Each structure stands twice: as structure tokens, then as C-alpha cells.
Amino acid sequence: MMLLPGSTLGVLGGGQLGRMFCVAARNMGYRSVVLEPQQNCPAAVVADLHIQADYTEPQALQQLAELCDAITTEFENVPAESLEFLEQRKPVHPSAQAVAIARHRMQEKQYATEAGLAPAPYALIQSAADFAAAAEVTGFPAILKTSTLGYDGKGQQLVNDPVELERAFQQLGQVECVLERRLSLAKEISVLLARNAEGNVACYPPAENEHRNGILHQTIVPARVDDTLADRARLQAIGLANTMDYVGVLAVEFFITTDNQLVFNEMAPRPHNSGHYTLDASLTSQFEQQVRVMCGLPPGEAKLFCPVVMVNLLGDLWPIDWQNCLSHGSLKLHLYGKEEARAGRKMGHYNLLSTDLEQGITEAAEVFSLLSK
Ligand code: ADP
Ligand code: MG
């Protein structure tokens, strides 16, 4: 079944991802409804309707199900029961099961391994009794990560020895964690794809991600990796999506180690920050893909028009002097409409398009250096 323009699409979460989804839906003639507890959330002004309620509130979920022809999510931390509730009433993509896998670090690693991908050596830690056996698997240094709810480097700690492991587990609140070997990284890349229910896939070229303080700073596309490795990463991401019979937009993060190994890191069952460049540099944006796939349409062409650098604008930079930024003729600015600029908060991003990737990287950095003067 195809949902055509005029249909109503629901999204759980009204942050920037929900907002850009609603814009894509609106551009294509769909109506959108956002469920999000936060008043004045970024998506509220672009959605046709904002249901302001908690993600678990039965009445709100019921209303969403009644109003919408299909439903998606902007983040993986929605309660599983909410997605299951909706799934019993309307098509939900990605499925509650896929979201549940991606939400849990242990499960996503297990699934990825089954699909032939290679995560860093890891072990589950539920209590202090698991420390020794886990450290045996990973060695030190290792990274202790909470099984769920981690993002932007939050909920994880580097540990160099058994004493630090014990302390980190305490500091993370003794919740279930995954310990993984700390690898020596040459690069981080992500592969974004969209897959529909018939198994048609549009896969974007690998993107190269640079983090600062655990938060994505910039994404460079295409990633500066050799073709063999780029192809391998794409095939692995597609293989993972096929194994999960995944329907939706999927982002798969990989590490490339200093000895050139391709290592699976994690996946996001939704559009991804590293895919924001697709808004301006690709034939089909990741948000249009989200609309298409949940509507049962074929994914759009994922072709890249030209090299592009996406730079995140965090609240730390505020107030910004927009002059330089907006004077650049091939820079596209996207702001999320967040009123309060807090440190570490993602306020917007820009995409700098170029004919030459290295030149684009230099220009993107120049613009960045002049932002908060
Ligand atoms: P998040 O959910 O916060 O994105 P990630 O697991 O992707 O969590 O980790 C955040 C960042 O921490 C990664 O992008 C990478 O820079 C670093 N990192 C995570 N795991 C490892 C590892 N096993 N070895 C080396 N660096 C790591
Ligand atoms: Mg990550």
C-alpha cells in the first residue's frame, strides 16, 4: 500500500530531526503530527499538529494513531511499549522491534555480528561480579558504556585499569553496561541508507565524522577512505538492514582503526546528524527518504551532487555573528528554532558545498573560526 500526498504522517519526538522530517513531509504535500512533551519544540511550528504529551500517555498515543496513516520516530529512546501500542493500530516504520535493537548496545552488537559485521571486543556488565571476565575479553584501555540512553558521548567512560572500571560503573549509576575495547582510531565514518518494505535500498556514500568533546563537529562527504573500504562499509550496512528486514532510514557508524580494520560501532534507526548534508548536496534528503519509505514509496536516488562539509552549530557559539557565514555563496544555513542556546546543545548546522573537497574543508573551517567574533 502506498500512502500518497494528502496522507497524514506521525512522528514521535519534536526535536530538530522531527522538524526536518515535518518540513520534508510538508514539501511533498503530506500532513504531519508530532507527539512531544516539550512546549515550543523545534518541530511544533512546522507540524500541522503538535500533541503535547508524554510518549507513554495512552490518550495521546491513541490520538496519534487515529489521526495518522503511518508513524515514525525521530529517536530510539521512545518506550518500546509506545511503539508497540501504535503498531497494533497503524503502520510504524522503523518497527518497534528494530528500534528496540538499536536502542540497546548489546543487542545491536549481537545483531551486527550475526549480519557479518565486526564490533570491537565487548562484554556485558550487570554487576561487579562481571568485571573480571569482561576485562578479560576487552583488555585495557576499555570504554564502559551504559547499555541504553547514551548519546553524544554521554553515558560512557574510558577506563584504564580494574580500579577505574569499578569507579566508572559506580559513576554511571551501576546500571547495565557494555565494556568494549578502546581501539586506536584512524577515522570514523557512517553509512546512511533508506530501505522500504519491498527491500529496495538507497545507500549514500560513506561520510567522515569528526567529533569534539564527544559531539559531532563536522561531517565530510565523501569520506576520505579508499574505494575498497568504502564499498565494504556500504555492503555491510546494507547487509545489516537486510538481516533486520529494516524499513526506514538507518545510519550505521563504523570505526576505521589505525591498522585499517573496519569496525562496527553503532546504528541509529532514524535520520542521523551525519546525514544532514543530504539536505543540500544529495538528490534526496534523508528526511525525504523517511517520508518515502514510511509511505511505501521507493527510496529516492542517494546520489551526491558535489563534495560537502556539514558543520554543527552548538549553543557554545552563541551569539553568532552571521555576516561571514551568510556572505558565503555556497553555504546553506539550517537553524532549528531553539530559543535557548545552551552549551553542547545542537542549534543548527551549515552545509558548505564545493567542487573540491579539500578546498571545502578549508572554507568550512574559515567560516567556523569567524562565527563568534
Ligand atoms: P554515542 O551514542 O554517544 O554516539 P558512541 O558509542 O558512538 O556513543 O561513542 C561516541 C564516540 O566515542 C565515538 O564516536 C568515538 O569517537 C568514541 N568511541 C566509542 N567507542 C570507542 C571505542 N571502542 N574505541 C575508541 N573510541 C571509541
Ligand atoms: Mg555514536
* Cell reading at 204: 549514500
Strands (E), 39-101: 49-51, 70-73
Q: How many residues does the chain have?
A: 373
Report whether residue 120 contacts ligand 1, using a CB cutoff of 6 Å. yes
- Per-residue confidence (pLDDT) for residue 236, from 0 to 100: 98
Tell how far the Cα of 151 is from the centroid of ligand 2, in angstroms: 7
- State the closest ligand 1 atom to the C-alpha of 184, by its place in the atom list counted from 1: 25
- State yes or no: pLDDT of 358 exceeds 80: yes
> Per the structure block, which three cell numbers stand in for 326?
551568510
* Rounded Cα gap, residues 269 and 61, in angstroms: 20
Pocket flag, ligand 1, residue 183 (CB < 6 Å): yes
Would the pLDDT of 201 be above 90? yes
Average pLDDT over residues 322-337: 96
Residue 259 pLDDT exceeds 90: yes
Residue 163: predicted pLDDT: 97
Residue (of 41, 75, 81) closest to 58 by Cα position = 81
Estimate to the nearest angstrom the gap between the alpha carbon of 113 and the chain centroid.
Answer: 20
Does 266 contact ligand 1 (Cβ within 6 A)?
yes
CA distances to 12, 162, 215 from 189, rounded to whole Å, are: 27, 31, 14
Average per-residue pLDDT for the chain: 97
229 C-alpha to ligand 2 centroid (Å):
20
Pocket lining: 188 vs ligand 1, CB cutoff 6 Å: yes
What does 215-237 look like in DSSP terms, one character per residue? EEEEEEES-SS-HHHHHHHHHHH
Q: Judge if the beta carbon of residue 182 lies within 6 A of ligand 1.
A: yes
Alpha carbon dihedral 166, 169, 175, 181, in 10-degree steps, equals: -100
Residue 351 pLDDT > 90: yes
**pLDDT at residue number 151:** 86
Beta bridge partners of 210: 218
Question: Burial level of 322, CB count in 10 A (0-12/13-18/19+)?
Answer: exposed
Q: What is the pLDDT at residue 224?
A: 98
Does 274 have pLDDT greater than 90?
A: yes
